[in-house]
Amino acid sequence: MKVKIRRQWNDWRVASVDIGKITSLHWDVISGGIGGKAIRPFIMGYVWCDDVEGELAHSCMHGSGPHHIKVTVVKKDNDRVVWDAVLKATLI
């Protein structure tokens, strides 16, 4: 099952990754990359950058990859079945 992800909740770049590749799903307000603060809690987790399909706000220019990066799961990007699976996998 593919989950749509972003680096920050409001980034225009949306990529996808297999749900089993996302670790430590949890609610948080601090995004990956620039560490920006979100307007409210979102579900976030960690993926290896080479497992991602599509474009995210990440490059391996700062050091050889792959990198374990923090990503955000936004409800509106995912259909109901995917969102429910993400909720079920999220740490409480």
Q: Which long-range contacts link 24-31 to residues 24+ away (Cβ below 8 Å)?
A: 24/91, 25/73, 25/86, 25/89, 25/90, 25/91, 26/90, 26/91, 27/90, 31/7, 31/70, 31/72
Q: Are 5 and 17 in contact (CB under 8 A)?
A: yes
> What is the rounded distance in angstroms from the CA atom of residue 10 to the CA atom of residue 85?
22
Retrieve residue 16's tokens: 């996808």
Retrieve residue 35's tokens: 């560490």
**Per-residue model confidence as pLDDT tens for the chain (92 residues):** 999 999 999 999 999 999 999 999 999 999 877 788 999 999 999 999 889 999 887 666 666 768 899 999 999 999 999 999 999 999 76
Domain boundaries, the chain: 2-89
